[in-house]
Amino acid sequence: MGTFCSVIKFENLQELKRLCHWGPIIALGVIAICSTMAMIDSVLWYWPLHTTGGSVNFIMLINWTVMILYNYFNAMFVGPGFVPLGWKPEISQDTMYLQYCKVCQAYKAPRSHHCRKCNRCVMKMDHHCPWINNCCGYQNHASFTLFLLLAPLGCIHAAFIFVMTMYTQLYHRAKDRIQYYQLDEVFVFPYDMGSRWRNFKQVFTWSGVPEGDGLEWPVREGCHQYSLTIEQLKQKADKRVRSVRYKVIEDYSGACCPLNKGIKTFFTSPCTEEPRIQLQKGEFILATRGLRYWLYGDKILDDSFIEGVSRIRGWFPRKCVEKCPCDAETDQAPEGEKKNR
């Protein structure tokens, strides 16, 4: 509580200017991106929130973020503590043991040093950290150390979620494809050796060189080298079957966040490095997936699309296209196809 009160004192409000520096901007940007992406992945993919493990996982993510930011802002705004201007020891004879700072017009207390960046003598100065744009010293030493400890732990947790998200997506897609067509198939990930320890040993070895040659891999019993690639080909073919043809009704420049396509389109631009594609009225697009205000697909380039000679694909605003009448009439075709299969 004492720390919180010290943060909201009027004089500490002047410390907000410390945020206007490349160090805090980069540090907070990395924290925000990693935390946001990890939370989005945990909500959408791994683990499901309706399970006990998923709830614990999500609470841990929030806990990491809160503790990291709390200690980070404590280290930045509470500061290290400065030797009072004009300070001198109570016993005047002790001045003979101390250095005098001409800038602060004060004696340097034991373990204190003058920081050129802060332009003050810092109590128990460790160093001036650009990431918090402040010194690490007496008052914020614990918060700074906790931040350095918690940040890597939070990153490890986020990295685990990212890896597991990619790992589980193949299962979700395979399950979706099998359920959609009501097939009597069971997809088994061929490279899961059946135990975490055996999987771990494929990556981490005493020599530092991973097992295998990177081209052929050990697979579990009942699978073969091409079990995964066959499933990938099936998923790719399924994506083409489920794709929907659209006709472009508005030009689109390919801007990442187009202002002229509406506020909702502007603020819901996909957070991805995948490209946007320019559209001209009258063109045709084959959409394979989408969001509420955006679609992703391939531009149909005459016969080249069928021959696979050239592909132009990316995101585009949903309001720039309309579903072709022929596809609108056959929206239920996959359903009928599913029953026949």
299 forms beta bridges with 285, 312
Residue pair 154/95 in contact by the 8 Å Cβ criterion: no
| Residue in 129, 135, 136, 320 annotated catalytic | 129
- SS3 of the chain: CHHHHHHCCHHHHHHHHHHCCHHHHHHHHHHHHHHHHHHHHHHHCCCCCCCHHHHHHHHHHHHHHHHHHHHHHHHHHHCCCECCCCCCCCCHHHHHHCCEECCCCEECCCCCEEECCCCEEECCCCEEECCCCEEECCCCHHHHHHHHHHHHHHHHHHHHHHHHHHHHHHHHHHHHHHHHCCCCCCCCCCCCCCCHHHHHHHHCCCCCCCCCCCCCCCCCCCCCCCHHHHHHHHHHHHHHHHCEEEEECCCECCCCCCHHHCHHHHHCCCCCCCCECCECCCCEEEEEEECCCEEEEEECCCCHHHHCCCCEEEEEEHHHEEECHHHHHCCCHHHHHHHHC
Instruction: Confirm whether 136 is a catalytic residue.
Output: no
Kindly list the catalytic residues.
129
